[in-house]
Structure 1
Amino acid sequence: MLVFVEWFYTRISALERLLEYEKEFRSYLQEMELDDTYINFLEQKVRRAEKIIIELEEEKGHQSAKITQLNQKLYVASNKQIEYKRAYTKLLTKNVSLIKQISDHNLKIIELEKKLDSCYTNDSKLSFTVREKMCVLVVESKVMCKSLLNMGKLKQKRIEVINNIRNKLGEYESGFLGNNLIFDEEAKDICNKIDYQLNNWTSYYKGYKWIANAKSIEEKDLSEVLTLLENLIFLTRYKRFYISESRIVHIDILYKYLLATTNDLLGYTKHRFQKEIISLKEKFEKEEFIVRRHFPGDVYCYKNHFANLTYNFKLIKTYGNARMLYLFGDHGTGTYKVGVTYNSLLRRFFEAEESYKHKYPNGELKKLKVICNDNAYNLEAYIKKKFLNHRHPLFNSTEWFTLQKNQIVYLLSEEYLQDKEFMNVYNYIFKIKND
């Protein structure tokens, strides 16, 4: 704007000088006595210049007014800028103070959370932080439950969401097990009711509508499940929980413990151990070696129970499947049958006698020996291996043998009691031992 004003004043000065030159030139022309036509032409030029000067003067006035107005605005803006700077400085000072207050409050919150954790831990061995994490898992389950009602005809999607709910509640259950806590009975009851409803929905959307309790998702049932989840949150936050008398550990921790303290797992990989435990899961749950879960999740085991167990997969997998090792035979023909049964010894004898009569119509098969033992299957396998080269040629079976008197006394005269390998199997016990 200042540059324009300077330019404007320069133009006016130039036109004023031009007028002076014009007067001097006119005087000069009069002196030179030029003709009237040329003088008139020059006079028109002069008048036009005078008109331009008047317009420029007017424009000068307008621009001066604008400059005055802009100066006023500039003055106001300068004052506001000063006020803003003062306000900013004041806010900055206040902000520093607030930041310090927030920092102090955060430190107090951390201190209080530690005290709260300590109170919860001392009271029920489950910290406030862990409880809140478990509550978050239940809240996430609630959100997924609510979504089930708005999926239209997407059956497969509903099944996936229901499975995700189960997995999420499995993580919740692991919160107890991972902290060596007994899964609370009240929480267990709530989870059973939720699982019952989830199973009903799953059966329906998988197409198993012939199952009595299979049903689609309805608002009433969903409302009941959401209420149960709310109860679970309240219980998780405030109830006292109890430590398991037998230490509960994750299967990976159990593997490391057994590897370090026993020779049972020599040459074992973690994958092999996990695979065997999972394959024996039902048997282990029955005997209380691993924790019976309500929802899907990692395997947790009772460490103390395993510590008192000689781990032998081969013996455990058939333990209790058969409880009687029997020996049927005829000393006259030197024919003997070795087999096992759980509780059907008489039926086995009749079946063996029938087979024997086909080969030896005049022979007489008798019950010679019965050894009762929960590891009868492995005892049978050991006997069959011992007499492998004495299988009877007339029977297409691994259970029939031709044995001499000096061989059969191994069983009849209980020479097996002196056989260390046989007795290792015979004395193996798969159950919780009292310390």
Structure 2
Amino acid sequence: MLRIIILLTIPVLISCATKSKVPLNNDAPLLEDAMIQNDVDKKANMLAQEYIITDGHIDLPYRLKVKNFKLDREYMGIPVETDEGDFDFVRAKKGGLNAPFMSIFIPSSYQDGRAKYLADTLINMVTGIAAELPEYYAIATSPDDVRQHFKKGIISLPMGMENGAPIEGKLENVQYFKDRGISYITLTHGKDNHICDSSYDTTGTYGGLSEFGYTLIEEMNKVGIMVDISHVSDNTFYQVIEKSKVPVIASHSSARKYTPGFERNMSDDMIKKLGENGGVIQINFGSTFLDGKVADERNKARTDLTNILEEKGLSYRDDAAEEVIDAYYSKNPLAFSDVDMVANHIDNVVKLAGIDHVGLGSDFDGVGDSLPTGLKDVSEYPNLIAELLRRGYSDEDIEKICSKNVFRVWQSVLDYAEKN
């Protein structure tokens, strides 16, 4: 009933404002715009709480590892409420985030035999958080789990493994990680691994998938783990689309249209093919993923600062470099993208593949200081919803973007595995 009242109120307020033919002062149009904007913001906040929001990629576990995280119920700062990083329970509830996929991130430097150990360590951390704080969090391995937790006001913690290196060439490890709660595997990360080529690597070890990689796709389909093509090379992507019997995801990628030459993002043709496959691209919020011009400005600033430090005989790690870095950025502020550009990427995917094939994959806690204006942490999803409302997206469209599209793929992968 509350939703009906609010929705009916919006056009009434707009109508009253536009019927005022004798403005009291020259600020009347600004007041009218402010009233309309206020109504959009209210509706966006309402939808953020009413709909399930899932985010395909949040790097909380690795951030906590770097911070030497120790699980201690007496210390409630992490991950219930903290000023550090981009995610905690309090901010997530404010923003309406219900199912952040916890990234079990395996750096390429761990592809030397340590990958499985690190994966287990990070999974233990996430499951430990849920076990220690059951009134806040619960592990989720299906859309149904998320829906049940949502009804209880609990945030779900599904997990995705970023980099398939922990598979270690052993198909039995696919079931092992499924049993440990992994719902998707990003096939590689910054370097080619034993599965496939990476978008960040120039080696082209296999020209796409390795022989084992082809077998792995079959096994992931059979076991019920989503295939994630973020980070893979273009030829790997096309081979995965050809091989997979079920839809695939890009857990945290954006559109290459706005970042020409950045292979880590998806080309228009790839987005179309992903749509034909039934899959979903979850838009990455990092400024350099959103806008090639911002990436160029940041690269130039980095080069300039590196030259200044070298002239002074300093490296970025030196204590004396901090003052130089602060002074440089005070005169040359970092460039950022904004929430409008995230909406542009969504628009582009909808144009190319349709409304059923786009979602959210922020990369919170993974893209450092490059988050766009209006989406600086998990409390700010309503800002994006408000922008989509202004662009004419329906409530149904927004619910699909927030979670229904990803749930469709996730469930189809689980259903296929159950039948096979």
| Structure with more of its chain in helix, by fraction | 1
Structure with bigger RCO (C-alpha 8 Å, 6+ apart): 2
Query: What TM-score, normalized to structure 1?
Result: 0.19
Choose 1 or 2 for highest CA Rg. Answer: 1
Query: What TM-score, normalized to structure 2?
Result: 0.19
